[in-house]
A and B are shown apart, each in its own frame.
Chain A
Amino acid sequence: MPVLDVGYRTWSGERTFSLFRWWVVAWSGIRLLLAGTALRRVMIVATIPALLSGVAIGVFEQATVDDSLRQSVTKEMFGRRMDRAPRDSIWQVLRPAVENPKENRHLVWTFILHWYFRYPQAICTVVMLGLVAPRLISYDLRSRGYLLYLSRPLTPWSYLIGKASVLYFLLAMITTLPALLIYMAGILMSTSSGAILETWDIPLRILLSTCVLVLPTTAVALALSSMTEESRFAGFGWFAIWIVGWVTYIVMNATLMRRFDRFQRGMVQEEEYFYYLSPYHLLGQLQREIFGLMPTDRGIDFLAWILCAGITLLGYGIAYRRISRTLKV
């Protein structure tokens, strides 16, 4: 018995608004995850590429006022690459910036941020979700914790949004927030007073790029987590999707390349073929569009957008259905 047992006591206070109770699910999940030191370390490591991107923007800003720096860094680094790159390559999009950096601040910044999203952060997202997401729903299925949540004023949707928000938060911490900080650092390091006017749309592109990266990936991760009580199976499924997609993309492209002679191969080797088959490359393609780095003669790839939206809806639909089904007696 407690030292001072007051027995049962009634409670009559002001309750919080029921529509936002999903936030309690999200916050409790975030706190539980951040209590683990391993995840905190992964998050710290995930911010390192942001430092590199910040340095890149800093160097570019210096190059706009220092001709020798521009010659030695910008032209030497990018110029050679551009000469070898095929017509559709992202390097060709960058060509005007090498010739006239002052007038192409927007292009260079978006290029750096696109690189940041496309390579280190997309990989970090896959790894982070692979570590965290499989547990989110499958643990509740295993321990029947969903009954405790859903016997409160929560719908399966609000439960799902709460769980998804845990992932949104983590991914925002390793993608959106560092990207916005890179942008802010760029503004502060900029040698031009008109930098904000030139680049005002970049934060919006960052947010849109985050959505494209986060929404479909969390949808698939939650769908997998809701399909099994064993989180390791969900984790295996998650990594399998990315690896199989990647390998298929490489194999299909390699098969295609064999049809071309050496000269043609050089012209097309960096073009994106079969990227619909690989989630990683599909997301990369969409992000390239968001950051405005597509060749001018290429329009919006509607099929890629529809595919991305379809995967997102399907993922959340499966997760919702699985949660609702568990309530059957």
Chain B
Amino acid sequence: MVHENLADVSDRLIYASILVYALAMLALCAEWAFSSRRFAAEAVEAVPVKALVGAGGPEVAEILPAAPPARERAEKFGRIGLSLAVLGFLLHLGGMACRGLAVDRVPWGNMYEFSSMSALAAMGVFLALTRKYDIRWLGVFVVTPVLLTLGLAVTVLYTDAQQLQPALQSYWLVIHVIAAVTSAGAFTVGAALSILYLVKEHAERTGSATLSRLPAADALDRIAYRVHAFVFPLWTFAVIAGAIWAENAWGRYWGWDPKETWAFITWVVYAAYLHARATAGWKGRRAAAVALTGFGCFLFNYFVVNLVVTGLHSYAGT
């Protein structure tokens, strides 16, 4: 039994959340733009002052007052962006809840629903992090992949609200997939942090002012590690729960089905990341590269294995 009205409401809420996320992204980009202008102003202020003193520089006087309003404006855009992100998250959450109510089951039974849920999880992980750390600067790097994922979900992967086939009718769908969905979200945030770390680390080494708004590379590396340290046990749990489900559904807990194989590869690569971070000569850049490889494996498992390679998990596509 599918409640068509609720399914319709769900679709509308998802579209609304896409719109609000897009606005949030614009606001957060504006914050970046204004804060980098501020830094540009400070750079001008810091370096040419000596040169201009001799010239009796009136230009300096023009530049200096411009800085505080830009900072205020950046701050304002940042707050607006974050508020919009929260609003988008709530709409998104409502959309997924309606989807679940429309079909009387958990809303993660096909790729459309799984993608939307993992985008929701990524936003959730980010918003949870903002409560603990001052990391609004990460916002645009999370909202952008979230928008891309949702865009892909509503266009390419969209599936009408439907009931589940027998293979998916199990409470393990709740346990296994909620762990996988949350992992997907946290992997995305972790990957964004690792990329930012790599860029920032490069900027610090070359003395460039790129991303000067971000915290030091070391701090980025630490936050990236925290996120990965949170998601690795969760992913381990997702794999174990999947194995228990497979044992219950197919009579074997591990059969090297392509999906299982890539889940294993992803797990091994993230395990390597945790080891690399504790190994001399591997910590830092190399470890971050390993984490990104792990994220690549995760994406491969989701998109390529689901859509191209056939296996027992191929029902995930429809």
Task: Decide if A and B are genuine partners.
Answer: no
Interface residues of B (CB under 8 A from A): none
Interface residues of A (CB under 8 A from B): none
